[in-house]
Amino acid sequence: MSKPTEITITIDTECSVAGAFANPDKYKPVAEEAIICEVDGKEHGVGFLLDTFKEYGITASFFIECAHYYYFGDEPMRSVVQRILDAGQDTQLHVHPCWMYYNENPALGDFPTDDSCKGRSYSELRKIFELSMDIFERWSGKKPDAIRTGSLVADMNIYRVMQDLGIPLSSNIAIGVNVPDEPTLNLHGGRHMVDGVMELPVFSYRDMNLFGRRNIKSLQITSCSWPEMKYLLRKARAEGIENIVILTHPFEYIKKSDPHFSKSIRNRVNQERLINLCRFISENDQDFVSADFGSYRDEWLQNGERGEAMISTPSYYMVGRKLHNKLNDTLWSY
């Protein structure tokens, strides 16, 4: 019997600028609202995720954004990281360079509000990564095994910096979100060595719109219906695909009235999707296993690259997904 297909649930865990760059006199960045996501005294962000993973025996990788330290300081994220580690979950580094704008130490230099890791000079990007890694290590007690760039942007320079910093793994690519300029980085899944760094892209697949054109989507809790996800997992298993990386964020499990979280409620649809996914992995443990970056680092590196064929989904899944997402986005209490 072949080994189980590895499902890696990744959670980009980050604060929100919330319009502060565009209108700093009116808006301020938010932290707990985007991470904890408390509604009526109950956590629907990190707390919901940790409770769900515990119930179904799932391990996942929380990609922690650290540069917001330059605005908020160590808290609340340091305490959140400790909770994640205490729950037996994995932490890795997420980098949104825009937060470096708030640095007040002249010795570190000045940084623009540009949030892209792509297109920067080697020295500038290395400094951003080194500063973020220092914060991550202070919060987690370890050097990251993997980095994910903010907004899933990638260029070759990013991998050169990572290699020189001794970071062996990355998950910077989701071609349904951002297509890299370099064709060699147009990766939809599997494991790939890029300048000495192993890239595990967010799993991407084809669907078909009503005009017969093929679209590329990346597998995300907030955008993919549960029937579509289940179809993809079963088809991937049947075709011998080894790795499936899934993307989500803590704030996807609430609905908010505006970017400042003035009013929020539980996002029932997204919560049920995650619960269904975790239950499916748990109940089909002969075929599927949860796999986090920290625990599987050595195995992935030892086993090397793994290319995978791109999977397609029937059109009716696309129609069902669009209708379900439209209802969820339009109706506040759906």
pLDDT means over runs of 10, the chain (334 residues) = 92 97 94 97 98 98 98 98 98 98 95 96 97 98 98 97 98 97 97 98 86 84 96 96 98 95 96 98 98 98 95 84 84 84
User: Which long-range contacts (C-beta less than 8 Å, at least 24 apart) are formed by 104-113?
Assistant: 104/70, 113/21
Packing angle, helices 122-140 and 77-86, rounded to 10: 60
Place of tokens 């997420």: 94
Helix (H) or strand (E) holding 230: helix 226-238
Distances (CA, A) of 141 to 64, 81, 131, 226: 13, 10, 15, 36
218, HSE (Cβ side, Cα atoms, 13 Å): 25
The tokens describing 67, both together, are 């540069």
Taking domain 5-330, whether its CATH number is 3.20.20.370 is answered by: yes
Strands (E), the chain: 5-13, 38-39, 42-43, 61-65, 90-95, 146-149, 169-170, 192-194, 197-199, 204-208, 214-218, 243-248, 254-256, 264-266, 288-290
User: What ranges do the domains of the chain cover?
Assistant: 5-330
Q: Specify the pairing of strand 42-43 against strand 61-65.
A: unpaired
Residue by residue, DSSP assigns 109-174 as ----S---STT--HHHHHHHHHHHHHHHHHHHSS--SEEEEGGG---HHHHHHHHHTT--EE---B
CB within 8 Å of 24: residues ≥ 6 apart = none
Q: How far apart are CA 246 and CA 264, in angstroms?
A: 25
Helix (H) or strand (E) holding 31: none
Q: How far apart are CA 149 and CA 95, in angstroms?
A: 5
The pTM assigned to this predicted structure is: 0.97
Q: For 193, phi and psi rounded to 5 degrees?
A: -85, 125
According to the model, what pLDDT value does residue 209 have? 64
> Furthest-apart CA pair in the chain: how many Å?
61
pLDDT digits (tens, 9 = 90+) for 142-170: 999 999 999 999 999 999 999 999 999 99
148 and 63 in contact (C-beta within 8 Å)? Answer: yes
| 3-state class (DSSP) for residue 279 | helix
220 and 246 in contact (C-beta within 8 Å)? Answer: yes
CB within 8 Å of 299: residues ≥ 6 apart = none
pLDDT digits (tens, 9 = 90+) for 247-293: 999 999 999 999 999 999 999 999 999 999 999 999 999 999 999 99
